[in-house]
Structure 1
Amino acid sequence: MAAEEVQRGTPGLGVTGDGAAHLVQLVLGLIVVVAAILVLGFVLRRIHGLSGGLSSDFRVLGSVSLGSRERMVLVQVGDVQMVVGVAPGRVQTLHVLERPIDVNPTAVKGADPSFAQRLRTAMSGQGASS
């Protein structure tokens, strides 16, 4: 009996004809799942792009951290600017400004450029490295 078991081999070790078919099925299933994720991401990005028409009307002009999880944010909605308090699970209007604040950093002489502008300059290679 021992000689018979040695000739047949131990099940589950090595790749036999059935094992290779199972491996191919597993790899094809993985490829289908990855392709479905990529297609779904593309579709969601396109849908988000279509509904993004309001994004030009709503802008975050600046923010200040008030604590570990709380922020005060200056938001522009159309021609109206408002100060909004943001905390976990809560957003509250703190004040609606009668006169809009000019937040253009180039309008004030000697003002440091924003982080986003400095990053753009550094990424484009125009700025001097420090």
Structure 2
Amino acid sequence: MSVFKSVAVGSILLSLSLTALANESGVGATGLGITGDGAAYLGQLVMGLILVILAILVLGFMMRRMGGMNAGVSGELRVLGAVSLGARERMVLVQAGKTQLLLGVAPGRVQTLHVLDEPIQPKDRAVETYPGNFAERLRHAMGRQGRVS
């Protein structure tokens, strides 16, 4: 929210200064080569640009808060896992309701590879295959490379 406030305050101050420059009869901004009419045009241009940027920021914030466009289906579809098969090909395990599908995904193509009869229970991601804390895991990894310190 502070970004919105700072952009709004900055745009108001800029528009007030450009409006003051435009209201001066023919004097313009000294040293900039802008006459009174040019300053008014520049003020309009800057205000329009600021309004468009603010509208984009506000709409982006609202879309993020509302969850975007896929809020209706998010509970029924879940991606349980994915494996990269190549540079642009993947194999994805998707759960749709109680059915699990194994999908092949390539650029421009999604193909059902298998519909699972028995659903695969996903592993708990909190429990990893590496026991211990970070220091022990780092020591183990460095020891495997032959660089024990």
Q: TM-score range by the shorter chain?
A: 0.5 to 0.7
Q: Given the superposition, is the C-alpha separation of residues 98 and 88 from structure 1 closer, same or farther in structure 2, using an over 3 Å criterion?
A: same
Residue 41, structure 1, aligned to residue 41, structure 2: no
Q: How many pairs were matched up?
A: 103
TM-score (norm. length: structure 1):
0.65
Give the equivalent residue in structure 2 for 1:14. 33
**Counterpart for residue 129 of structure 2:** 111
Distance in structure 2 (CA, Å) of the matches to 1:86 and 1:18: 58
Matched, 1:82 2:97: no
Residues 88 and 106 (structure 1 numbering): CA distance in 2 closer, same or farther, change over 3 Å? closer
Specify the SS of the correspondent of 2:87. coil
Gaps of 5+ in 1: 1-12, 114-126
Distance (whole Å) between structure 1 residues aligned to residue 61 and residue 87 of structure 2: 35
Which of 12, 27, 46 is matched with 2:46 structurally?
A: 27
Pick the aligned partner of 1:64 from 83, 87, 104: 83
* Shift in alpha-carbon separation, 1:88–1:112, aligned structure 2, 3 A: farther
Query: Any gaps of 5 or more consecutive residues in structure 2?
Result: 1-31, 139-149
**Deviating more after overlay: 28-37 vs 87-96:** 28-37
AA of the residue aligned to 1:96: V
Instruction: Provide, for residues 26-78 of structure 1, a one-character-per-residue CA deviation record: whole Å limited to 9, x for no partner.
Output: 111111211222343345443736x5132111000000011111000000111
Percentage of matched positions with identical amino acids? 60
Q: 2: distance between equivalents of 1:29 and 1:63?
A: 45
Instruction: Provide the residue aligned with 2:118 in structure 1.
Output: 99
| Cα distance in structure 2, aligned partners of 1:67 and 1:37 | 37
| Equivalent pair of 1:105/1:112 in contact (CA under 8 Å) | no
* Whole-angstrom distance in 2 between the partners of 1:36 and 1:42: 10
